[in-house]
Amino acid sequence: MGKLDGKVAIITGGARGQGRSHALTLAREGADIVVCDIAAQIDTVPYPMATPADLEETVRLVEDLDRRCIAVQADVRDGAQMRAVAERAMGEFGRIDILLANAGIAGFASAWELTDEQWNDMIAVNLTGVWQSCKAVIPHMIAGGRGGSIVITSSTAGLKGFAGSAHYVATKHGVVGLMRTLAIELAPYNIRVNTVHPTGVNTPMVVNDYMREVLAASPQALTNLLPVEMVEPVDISNAILWLVSDDARYVTGVTLPVDAGFTVK
Ligand SMILES: NC(=O)c1ccc[n+]([C@@H]2O[C@H](COP(=O)([O-])OP(=O)(O)OC[C@H]3O[C@@H](n4cnc5c(N)ncnc54)[C@H](O)[C@@H]3O)[C@@H](O)[C@H]2O)c1
């Protein structure tokens, strides 16, 4: 018996990193999975993004767990594409119980030196993309009449400021406002909405040449309270598994840090 037997989860940004780890964690508990990912490069993103091969690898790993998995190449910025992801999930599985709005991009520059393109792309992916994902899925959750759970991946940058990443920080705070509003709007339907706030996580978003250079310039900036340099994707997956399971059935509207004590420093 898994904690999520019979449930269906949509995970954005599921080609690699945390999204892939969430897919495997939820599948191990019995959920069938729909992953979507842009699986292509966005020009203003200063490190390599996921590829179609990454997306296929997530499918293979979920299927190895004897769960069903559909992958859709889709851009969270595009409402029509996100509606198509939700419709594909309904067509194949007939229900959507869980949405993990996890897709995101990062980048660094002083607030006054960001280009318009860097700012606009960040807002489009990390804030508008989360809203588009929710907007596409929520009508199906409501129509299903079984409740549901939405978890948005914010960041410690959604709880405090960080020099050098105003656009990222603004989006990660922005999704907290979206989450709090959705939690109120969706409570009558027994749909719960929460955010998770990871500290640095060992994924290709931060483990790359560009980020190594940025972090070397400010070594103290990302020091955790607990003695760990970075947490692992599964640490975020475990918190999300709890949030989407019945163990957290009356938890909604919360900002859950998984941050090795980073935000209380
Ligand atoms: N890695 C960290 O240190 C860290 C810390 C805090 C929060 N986060 C957040 O965690 C989430 C997951 O990031 P990760 O660490 O797994 O990084 P990652 O780069 O490995 O994964 C992010 C995935 O999102 C996909 N994506 C990006 N833009 C997209 C779009 N427009 N449409 C669809 N898919 C898109 C990418 O292709 C990639 O596969 C992000 O929201 C990120 O901001 C990461």
> Is 203 domain-assigned?
yes
- The confidence score (pLDDT) of residue 219 equals 64
Mutate to test the pocket of ligand 1, among 83, 121, 201, 236 (most ligand atoms within 8 A of CB): 201
> Is 260 domain-assigned?
no
Confidence of residue 216 (pLDDT cuts 50, 70, 90): confident
> Is 231 domain-assigned?
yes
CB-CB contact of 203 with 233 (8 Å): yes
> Is 140 domain-assigned?
yes
- The confidence score (pLDDT) of residue 196 equals 99
Which residues have CB under 8 Å from 154's CB, separation 6+? 172, 173, 175, 176, 179, 195, 196, 197, 255
Evaluate: CB of 15 within 6 angstroms of ligand 1: yes
Evaluate: CB of 149 within 6 angstroms of ligand 1: no
Q: pLDDT tens digit string along 120-137? A: 999 999 999 999 999 999
Our answer to whether residue 250 is catalytic in this structure is: no
Please report, for the domain that includes residue 234, its CATH number: 3.40.50.720
Phi, psi of 65 (to 5 degrees): -90, 10
Tell me, yes or no, if the pTM score tops 0.85.
yes
Ligand 1, atom 17, lies closest to the CA of 205
Residue-averaged pLDDT of the chain: 97
Number of domains observed in the structure of the chain = 1
> Is 1 domain-assigned?
no
Write out the residue range of the structural domain in which residue 174 sits.
8-253
How far the first Cα of the chain sits from its last, in Å, is 40
> Is 263 domain-assigned?
no
* DSSP 8-state secondary structure symbol assigned to residue 231: B
> Is 98 domain-assigned?
yes
- The confidence score (pLDDT) of residue 12 equals 99
**Residue 40 tokens, joined:** 């292509």
> Is 216 domain-assigned?
yes
Q: pLDDT tens digit string along 33-80? A: 999 999 999 999 999 999 999 999 999 999 999 999 999 999 999 999
